[in-house]
Amino acid sequence: SQELEQSPQSLIVQEGKNLTINCTSSKTLYGLYWYKQKYGEGLIFLMMLQKGGEEKSHEKITAKLDEKKQQSSLHITASQPSHAGIYLCGAPHQGGSEKLVFGKGTKLTVNP
């Protein structure tokens, strides 16, 4: 079965610093979703990447999909306390099912 591994598991940065979170798949990626989760809340959709080499940006968050490496990265520029939370990557399950397989998440803390 497909597995997604996220690194690092947790990350503490000073406000204003840049950071990168990686998501590596055990199988070929046919798309990749990034979500953010805060305690007690549901998942907030950030970005969906569908094609190899695709890169998308929203405000200070940029995500890339490298199909050859079966990997996606999420980069935050000039981090702010509002960026704190758990970042989850999810990928469509192989075999035609509509379900998503998720990584275990990366917990981001941004210190003011």
Partner 1 sequence: GAGVSQSPSNKVTEKGKDVELRCDPISGHTALYWYRQRLGQGLEFLIYFQGNSAPDKSGLPSDRFSAERTGESVSTLTIQRTQQEDSAVYLCASSSYLSSYEQYFGPGTRLTVT
How far apart (Å, rounded) are the C-alpha atoms in residues 98 and 65? 20
Q: CA dihedral defined by 93, 71, 21, 84, rounded to 10 degrees?
A: -30
Is residue 88 at the binding interface for partner 1, with CB under 8 A as the rule?
Answer: yes
Burial of 89 (0-12, 13-18, 19+ CB in 10 A): buried
Q: Number of C-alpha atoms within 13 angstroms, CB side, residue 14?
A: 0
Give the nearest distance from C-beta 12 to partner 1 in angstroms. Answer: 18
Using CB under 8 A as the binding rule, the residues of this chain from 44 to 83 that contact partner 1 are 44-45, 48
How far apart (Å, rounded) are the C-alpha atoms in residues 112 and 104? 26
Give the nearest distance from C-beta 106 to partner 1 in angstroms. Answer: 11
Give the nearest distance from C-beta 61 to partner 1 in angstroms. Answer: 16
From 22, 24, 35, 83, residue interacting with partner 1 (rule: CB under 8 A): 35
Span of 19-27, 52-60, 69-77, 98-106 interacting with partner 1 by CB under 8 A: 98-106
- Residues at the contact surface with partner 1, assessed by CB under 8 A: 4, 33, 35, 40-45, 48, 88, 90, 93, 97-105
